[in-house]
Structure 1
């Protein structure tokens, strides 16, 4: 058995606390040609799933939630629970695909089985087809989700259509029917390990507490303190979702960076700033300096943890300068704020807080998380996350993967979530919106590439 970490388990609590939330995270891949013979496709996919033990494991919760949930083998694993074939209505265009994606990703995964699903969309206009790979956020974050996608694609060394070789990893031993023995064993093990770890923890504590407190202060203030001027970006959400996409060439972003400096993420967040400003103006709202504070996950995954399916992120909460109209002013403000947040320890504080949570017994930690999730936060308006993807074209059973678009879930009164994923020379934006609270996410999708073009013009490129 393998325990879920505090952040992994937190996404389960998120769903349990808010019935309007589906914690599905995933990608939509568009491929050339057709998926071919259905039976052959399923055999090939089954072989690749076989090579990844975690994809054949389900979650088992401890009795009375005293201990953390654990991953256990699904002794009755059946690919039929995880694979769906679908067809779009005519004209089978991208608009129909995005609507289908929103409906698919808005549904919760079945916790009686491993928490992932693979949907094949057989026909898409232009001699294309698509797949929607979804996993529960307790299983993957953005970076490990990309690793999961790559593990299902063809490896460079194999012939097109050949199955990946098995990893040979053995399954964890099955536990007793009620899990009681294992629960008490984990409690006992934790109790025995704590005295051994205590001296080192106490030695590090003063310095760690100071660093964490410095970084946590702005984080807590951003979440807990109501903004001076709120916006309609923050508010209750329902169960239905909308989904839209945008594309920006990485060559355009590089041209901006060569003139103005900064990072790919700085350019992307500036485009997001322009898009959220456009939404507020279209809704008749005057954007203020704190109208669009966004939740920005930051990966803390080391090279050693590459490919491991779990969550390893911290977070920052920049306030995007939606009150500024000029693209250069927006870009300068975004760069300065991101540099300040990185140097000020906000990301590190979030990471240390998550690490410290691992030392707390699960039961009180779960209670604290549930209580915090019920608090109607008003300080954060949207989600913006950026994940590096494959730089070269991938292949699935010999078919070229033409484009990959990310999907991020929304929760905690965040009505818009914008995920960014680079793939083969393009930065693709996947925009998730609450069906009623964000009916205008198409405006976000249109504004993002236009904002990069304006930035290019203002930079004199």
Structure 2
């Protein structure tokens, strides 16, 4: 019995292109002064946890003649050393060199003939540190049924010793059996039959552009978009190359601003981003008036303070206009707080108990859910994607090495030059900015302005 990709998974698989690799990335930096982590230990750890994420040993097989959605099959030639790779920076490697390496790795699509994930152990980082960069295709990790690999390899304490488990891959189905299974599936689901015939007549394989247009059409019909977003340099034809940069901030600063000015921590984050984007637009000479806005999609915002219970938080998806034309940082925050409060009253939310049952390091899996949620909106409905996910406020460990920082690396959607991912962890709020190398060559300006915008808000509160 084969497992067929869900319609959403199949869409993400079809959206993949050399210019738009649709994988979810995570960059973790660990303290390895004690030498707890090395390549062999990482191999053993991941191999012992693969039974918890069985899809990481499966690849995608197309059904001949496009008679049905692709299926998941065990990779009988699975080689963990192909997926877990070593890389090194020239000692002592700087954070800037690490960000450049991550940008190059994030630019490369995954190999569709193998399980759709890769992991890189980066050695040579200054200060006795090591980095781990993972990339997982959005078709593989949906955040609920199939978790992102970081979810199961990070521990709140000392990791238990790896357990040897024998994995016996199932026999890979033949093309003929896939056709037979597809015909049975089509007979039981006539609506799928019409869709398969239409796809086969139009084209043997769906192009990324076709799928994007289809998604845009469905989003408009469902009413998920509220008109077109403002014209912005954030929306441009992207190249196949990326830039990556990070920002480290203190969670306590957001609490101070929230206590002084109201709203949620998420509102404060959006206000900080708004101030940075305002100054970035001005640095480019873009015309700005007091009414100028940029529209962001915050696919799964978790209204959560680090001291609150995740089970009482709310997860929702919405579009919000960032008031980048407003010069006063306090008024920017007030506008955002009112907008998000209004959205939370009228838009259906998804409560978080489902997420609570996901033991382990949740943010990576939640970011996967966020990117999938963003894709349901028409591409012209927003200027950029901002994913903001809570993480644990106690140290996490990778094979005994303490994790110092974690940064999301969210993919660029079609004609999106920038995505901003955030994760709170152990008293910090970390930003990961993934940008197109040509359209956003000045992404480092945005990171510098994020620090400046944070200082502006703190000054207003003091």
TM-score (norm 2): 0.77
> Mean alpha-carbon deviation: is it higher for 258-267 or for 326-335?
258-267
2:44 alignment counterpart: 43
Aligned in 2, Cα 1:345/1:103: closer, same or farther, shift over 3 Å?
A: same
1:446 alignment counterpart: 448
The one-character-per-residue Cα deviations of 1:210-244 (angstroms, maximum 9, x if unpaired) are xx999954x4343xx363xx221211111110000
**Mapping for residues 20-419 of structure 1, pairs under 5 Å:** 20-33=19-32, 34=35, 36-140=37-141, 148-154=149-155, 156=157, 158-159=159-160, 162-163=161-162, 174-178=172-176, 179-191=178-190, 216-217=222-223, 219-222=224-227, 225=228, 227=230, 230-287=231-288, 289=291, 291-298=293-300, 315-345=317-347, 377-419=379-421
Aligned in 2, Cα 1:88/1:28: closer, same or farther, shift over 3 Å?
A: same
Tell me if structure 1 keeps the 8 A contact 2:5–2:71: yes
The one-character-per-residue Cα deviations of 1:243-292 (angstroms, maximum 9, x if unpaired) are 00011211111122222222221111111111111110000012354541
CA apart distance, 1:93: 0.3
1:369 alignment counterpart: none
Distance across 1 between alignment mates of 2:10 and 2:3: 12
The one-character-per-residue Cα deviations of 1:329-369 (angstroms, maximum 9, x if unpaired) are 11011111122223333778xxxxxxxxxxxxxxxxxxxxx
Aligned in 2, Cα 1:70/1:185: closer, same or farther, shift over 3 Å?
A: same
1:352 alignment counterpart: none
Distance across 2 between alignment mates of 1:256 and 1:14: 40
CA apart distance, 1:90: 4.6
Distance across 1 between alignment mates of 2:42 and 2:379: 45
The count of residues paired between Structure 1 and Structure 2 equals 396
Distance across 2 between alignment mates of 1:297 and 1:321: 19
CA apart distance, 1:158: 4.3
Aligned in 2, Cα 1:9/1:315: closer, same or farther, shift over 3 Å?
A: farther
CA apart distance, 1:143: 8.0
Distance across 1 between alignment mates of 2:55 and 2:106: 21
Aligned in 2, Cα 1:40/1:235: closer, same or farther, shift over 3 Å?
A: closer
Question: What secondary structure, in the 3-state scheme, does the structure 2 residue paired with 1:220 have?
Answer: coil
1:429 alignment counterpart: 431
The one-character-per-residue Cα deviations of 1:146-191 (angstroms, maximum 9, x if unpaired) are 85313012464744xx22686x999777533441122123223435
Distance across 1 between alignment mates of 2:378 and 2:77: 40
What RMSD, in angstroms, separates the aligned Cα atoms of the two structures? 3.2
The one-character-per-residue Cα deviations of 1:60-95 (angstroms, maximum 9, x if unpaired) are 233333422222211211112201101113541000
Tell me if structure 2 keeps the 8 A contact 1:55–1:116: yes
Distance across 2 between alignment mates of 1:393 and 1:35: 15
The one-character-per-residue Cα deviations of 1:109-167 (angstroms, maximum 9, x if unpaired) are 011111111100012001111110110111225788985313012464744xx22686x
Aligned in 2, Cα 1:253/1:37: closer, same or farther, shift over 3 Å?
A: closer
2:306 alignment counterpart: none
Question: What secondary structure, in the 3-state scheme, does the structure 1 residue paired with 2:432 have?
Answer: strand
Distance across 2 between alignment mates of 1:137 and 1:213: 19
Give the unaligned 5+ runs of structure 1: 195-211, 301-312, 349-372
Tell me if structure 2 keeps the 8 A contact 1:293–1:320: yes
Aligned in 2, Cα 1:240/1:37: closer, same or farther, shift over 3 Å?
A: closer
Question: What secondary structure, in the 3-state scheme, does the structure 2 residue paired with 1:317 have?
Answer: strand
> Mean alpha-carbon deviation: is it higher for 336-345 or for 141-150?
141-150
Give the unaligned 5+ runs of structure 2: 194-217, 303-314, 351-374
Question: What secondary structure, in the 3-state scheme, does the structure 1 residue paired with 2:16 have?
Answer: helix
Aligned in 2, Cα 1:193/1:421: closer, same or farther, shift over 3 Å?
A: same
Distance across 1 between alignment mates of 2:70 and 2:316: 21
